[in-house]
Amino acid sequence: MRIVILFFSFCLLDGCQRREEDGVQRYAWPLATASPEDTVTQIYAEEFAAAVENLSDGKMKIQVYPNSTLGGDRELLETCADGDIPFVIQNTAPQVGFMPDLAIFDTPCLFDTIEEARAAVDDPVFYNLMESVYTEGGYKLLGYADQGFRVMSTNKKVESLNDFKGQKIRTMENSYHMDFWKSLKASPTPMTFSEVYIGLQQGTIDAQENPYEVIVSNRLYEQQDYVVETNHLPHFISLIVSDDFYQELPKEKQEIIKTAAETAKEAARKASDERIADKIEEIENSGTEIVVLTEEVKEKMREAALPVYEEIRKNVSPEIVDAYLKGN
C-alpha cells in the first residue's frame, strides 16, 4: 500500500504529465473509493472519469481504483488531503471524524422523499456552507450523489413504534446513529460490516440498516424476513478533490472538473433510482417482505428522535443546521 501511495506522490509532483508523439501535454490522476465495483459509487466515479476525458478531448484522464485498492475510508481521506490521491468518492459518515459539521447528515427522519434530500444538499446556501467546511478540512467539494435512503432489515415485522423495542440492530460506529436507534428503544450494536451476514445468520444481531443496494449486493436479505422502509437517513456519497491540488490547476482544467462532476452527479442519481427498483424486485422475489411504514409511525419516529436533533444542534454550526433543516 505504501509503495502504491508513494508512486502516486511522485507522479503528482510533476502532475502525472506525459507528452505524446503529437506534442500534446496529457495528465492522468487516480480516483479512489472503498466501495465494490457493482455500486452507484463506482458509476459515479466512472461517469466522472468519462466526462473529464470527453470535456478535455482526452488530455485529462482519471483512473478509478475501487474496493479499497488504495486504502480504506480513513486512509483515503488522509491521502486526499495530502494530495497523494487527488480524487475520492465516499459516504459522508466516515468524514465526520475529520469534519464534525458533517454530522448534519446524521439528522434522522428528516425527509419524506429522496428528491427532498437532494434539494436540500443542492440548495446554494447550504452547499456554499459545506464547501467552506470541506475547504477547511483540506478538500474541494465537487458534489453529492446518493444511494437513496438507508432502510432496516429484520426478522420481526415492524408496523408500530413499539416493534423496534429490544431489537439488536447493527449500526456503524457513529454516536448519532446509535442514539437514534436507542430513541426507538432498539439495541444498537456496532459491528464491522464484514461480520454482519454471519451475525444475522447466527443470531448475534436481529437486524441491520443500509441502503437497498448494500442489502442486495451482500445478500443480507437471505437472513431476514422483512425489509422495513424506515428511510431514516439519506445515504449521501461525496465527490471530493484535494484542495491544494485543485487550486494549482489552471482555471480551464478546474472548469472541466466542475462540469464533469455535475454531469456525473446527475448520472449517478438517475442510476440510483433505477437500481433501487431492481433491488426491491430481487428482494421480493426471494420471499422477503418489504414493509412500508404508515405516516403515523413515521411521525412517531420523528418525535422520538428529537433528542438526536438537539445533540446535532450542539455540535454543528447553527448556520449549517438552519440551512439543512429549512422547510422541515
Write the CATH number for 116.
3.40.190.170
Helix (H, G, I), strand (E, B) or coil at 188: strand
Q: Rounded CA gap, 312 and 232, in Å?
A: 15
A 10 A CB-CB count for 55 gives 18
| Alpha-carbon distances of 221 from 156, 169, 277, rounded to whole Å | 13, 14, 15
* Model confidence at 60: pLDDT above 70: yes
Structural domain of 253: 2-19+26-325
Cell of 172: 456503524
**Total count of domains within the chain:** 1
| Alpha-carbon distances of 57 from 53, 258, 306, rounded to whole Å | 6, 16, 51
Angle at which helix 306-315 crosses helix 295-304, to 10 degrees, equals: 50
pTM: 0.90
Q: Rounded CA gap, 174 and 151, in Å?
A: 16
Task: Give, as one character, the DSSP assignment of residue 275.
Answer: H
Average of pLDDT values for 266-290? 97
The reported pLDDT for the residue numbered 80 is 97
- 279, 214 in Cβ contact below 8 A? no
A 10 A CB-CB count for 107 gives 24
Q: Rounded CA gap, 272 and 55, in Å?
A: 24
* Model confidence at 23: pLDDT above 50: yes
pLDDT class for 194, splitting at 50, 70, 90? confident
Q: What is the DSSP string of 293-322?
A: PPHHHHHHHHHHTHHHHHHHHHHS-HHHHH
Q: Rounded CA gap, 107 and 110, in Å?
A: 7
* Model confidence at 8: pLDDT above 80: no
Average of pLDDT values for 254-261? 98
* Model confidence at 276: pLDDT above 70: yes
The reported pLDDT for the residue numbered 16 is 56
Q: Rounded CA gap, 181 and 183, in Å?
A: 5
pLDDT class for 10, splitting at 50, 70, 90? very low
Q: Which of 76, 13, 6, 55 is nearest to 253 (CA)?
A: 55
| Alpha-carbon distances of 107 from 45, 95, 218, 256, rounded to whole Å | 26, 15, 26, 33
**Sign of the CA dihedral running 28, 33, 37, 40:** negative
CB under 8 A, 24+ apart: contacts of 161-164 = 161/297, 161/300, 161/301, 161/304
For 14, what's the count of Cα atoms within 13 Å in the CB-facing half-sphere? Answer: 9
The reported pLDDT for the residue numbered 282 is 97
- 63, 49 in Cβ contact below 8 A? yes
Cell of 142: 465537487
The reported pLDDT for the residue numbered 226 is 98
Q: Rounded CA gap, 223 and 200, in Å?
A: 6
Q: What is the DSSP string of 189-216?
A: EE--GGGHHHHHHHTS-SEEEEEHHHHH
